Amino acid sequence: MCIRDRLRVWGGGIYEEDSFYDIADELGILIWQDFMWSCGVYPDGPKERRLARQEANYQVKRLRNHPCIAIWCGDNECDWAFDWGRLTHARRLAHGIQRKVLPETCRSLDPTRPYIPSSPHSPTDPDPNASHEGDQHQYRWLSFDRDSDSHYSRFFQDRSRFVSEFGRGSPPSVETLSRYNFNRAEMDLRKRAWSGQAPPNAPDDQYGLVSGMQFMHGQFQKRVLEHYRRLWPTCGGTLHWKFNDPFSANGLGFGLMAGVDPAGVPKLPYYYTKRAYAPVSASLKDEGDGNYSVWVCNGTDTTFEGEILIDLHHQDNRRRSVLNARVRVPADVSAPVAELSLKNLGFSRWEDYRDNVAALHLLRRGREVYFDTHWFMDVAREVRLRLIWGKVTARLKRRSPAELLVELKADRYVRPVELLMPGVNPSYDDNFIDLLAGVPRTVAVRPGPCEQTDLTNRLLIVRGWNFQPVTIDT
């Protein structure tokens, strides 16, 4: 159920090395494997078919014994390309590489796994991107302009069966931008392929603009993923575009739509996406007229029994409980568990929306298994909120070369609290978090993948929008 346990090896990239599939086997990550054709109507003569068969023979034999391989896909968007070129559906169905050579090879060499000719693909509809069947690439609703027909809220009416691509863009961190800007050229980020703005509290510099753009990217992605998870089983899953970005995104700016930037640094959208894919999660669905349904999505193979708590936290540190309920959600089920009415909560003026954030907690046997926050407003308004200035403290609870435990605490609501360690790229079990007033949260910091970095005797920086940066000598 829409949990992030699958990666798609995209047809516009490369076949990965054996070690990639070995690691996927070990970690239980399923692989949607494209053949390497993408975004075009390819020549389909005898020579091209012969070369395609040779390529497919080699790759299927190489990969078929990996348990991680879940599905073979003929290409990326080549079915769609027939529409772009105003070619007929009959010509699409007659294309020999995707409709004959590749499926014959898969049936012969790996008959137990499914094959689809393209992505997106509709089994019966002439529209390859039809929402009622097959898989979809959804890029129709990417605007933050409320008056636009392509405003992102239209995603929340979509009932696609499987979304194998969707996403937005944002720049990499300021550190990565500086690292790869070899000519030290001035970059006007507003004129590039990203949209967004600096939060009013953040410093009026590149950090503020980058973090604002990443926030809008991440919040968009989290809300859309929450929608599709609530749709289970109508929507069978999602693959967002995209996990990492090793190239310059067609000249539009590196790190364009990735969760992990070209330097291997996870951006804010990575962590927001991670929360949306949590095995058990809670979310609020806007039902209109100030009414919200409260959902719990259980993507595990056991029944979730526990409590859901929702508190309203005012910027002046007032707090009130608005929901405390026992919930029982069967395995592999998404279900509404409660309702909220903002009118009944006393919301009547803009100030009520501006000053109150909802904190969602899921507990099992008294232990928190999920936490997130929700502002009752559009993402474009949320990023413009002027938050009251707070103070953050950070202390080391545990210190060793292989792990740091950092306790963070704030005297007011602050966001997005980011940890970074200049010069190295460690792994954080969470990052870019919201801190509630007086509620400590602990982040584990470990050496990054494939690194043997000693985390002691280094500088750890904690920064965000509405507090002064904090530094710790580890």
For the cut 90, the answer to whether the pLDDT of residue 121 exceeds it is yes
What sign does the dihedral 336-338-340-344 (CA atoms) show? positive
Tell me what pLDDT residue 168 has: 86
Average pLDDT of 455-473? 93
Residue 73, H or E segment = strand 69-73
CA atoms of 234 and 213, how far apart (whole Å): 31
* Cα distances (angstroms) measured from residue 202 to each of 48, 271, 389, 414, 468: 55, 20, 10, 11, 10
Q: Which of 11-20, 63-72, 155-164, 441-450 has the lowest mean pLDDT?
A: 441-450
**If we measure between CA atoms, which residue out of 174, 203, 200 comes closest to residue 189?**
174
| CB contact set of 257 (below 8 Å; sequence gap of 6+) | 167, 168, 169, 170, 241, 242, 245, 249
The band of 203, judged by pLDDT with boundaries at 50, 70 and 90, is low
**If we measure between CA atoms, which residue out of 335, 332, 327 comes closest to residue 295?**
335
pLDDT digits (tens, 9 = 90+) for 321-372: 999 999 999 999 999 999 999 999 999 999 999 999 999 999 999 999 999 9
Average pLDDT of 232-240? 93
Tell me what pLDDT residue 148 has: 85
For the cut 50, the answer to whether the pLDDT of residue 2 exceeds it is no
Determine what percent of the chain is predicted with pLDDT higher than 90.
74
Q: Which of 51-55, 182-186, 198-202 has the lowest mean pLDDT?
A: 182-186
Residue 382, token pair as written in the block: 């949320």
Average pLDDT of 176-188? 65
Report yes or no: 461 and 386 within 8 Å, Cβ to Cβ: no
Tell me what pLDDT residue 254 has: 44
DSSP string over 390-440: B-EEEEEEEEETTEEEEEEEESS-EEEEEEE-TT---EESS-SEEE-BT--
The band of 141, judged by pLDDT with boundaries at 50, 70 and 90, is confident
For the cut 70, the answer to whether the pLDDT of residue 186 exceeds it is no
Report yes or no: 392 and 462 within 8 Å, Cβ to Cβ: yes
The secondary structure of the chain in percent helix, strand, coil, rounded to multiples of 5, reads 25, 30, 45
Residue 77, token pair as written in the block: 């968007």
pLDDT digits (tens, 9 = 90+) for 10-43: 999 999 999 999 999 999 999 999 999 999 999 9
| CB contact set of 126 (below 8 Å; sequence gap of 6+) | 89
Average pLDDT of 173-193? 65
Q: Which residue has the higher pLDDT, 450 or 449?
A: 449
pLDDT digits (tens, 9 = 90+) for 248-301: 544 444 457 889 988 889 999 999 999 999 999 999 999 999 999 999 999 999
CA atoms of 86 and 66, how far apart (whole Å): 39
The band of 53, judged by pLDDT with boundaries at 50, 70 and 90, is very high
Tell me what pLDDT residue 252 has: 43
Q: Determine the distance from the C-alpha atom of residue 345 to the mean position of all C-alpha atoms in its chain, rounded to a whole number.
A: 31
CA atoms of 121 and 204, how far apart (whole Å): 45
Please give the biggest Cα pair distance in the chain.
73
Tell me what pLDDT residue 473 has: 92
**If we measure between CA atoms, which residue out of 211, 209, 241 comes closest to residue 224?**
241
Tell me what pLDDT residue 455 has: 87
What mean pLDDT value characterizes the chain? 91
Residue 180, H or E segment = helix 174-180
pLDDT digits (tens, 9 = 90+) for 386-405: 999 999 999 998 888 889 99
Q: Which residue has the higher pLDDT, 254 or 304?
A: 304
Q: Spell out a b/e string for 333-365, using b for 16 or more CB atoms within 10 Å of the CB, else e.
A: ebbebbebebeebebeeeeebbbbbbbbbbeee
The band of 205, judged by pLDDT with boundaries at 50, 70 and 90, is confident
Strands in 6-9's sheet, in edge-to-edge order, are 6-9, 30-34, 69-73, 115-116
* Cα distances (angstroms) measured from residue 20 to each of 332, 411, 450: 28, 44, 13
pLDDT digits (tens, 9 = 90+) for 146-176: 888 888 888 999 999 999 999 888 888 888 8
Tell me what pLDDT residue 1 has: 44
In DSSP terms, which residues pair with 135 in a beta bridge?
A: 121
Using the 8-state DSSP alphabet, how is residue 388 labeled?
Answer: P
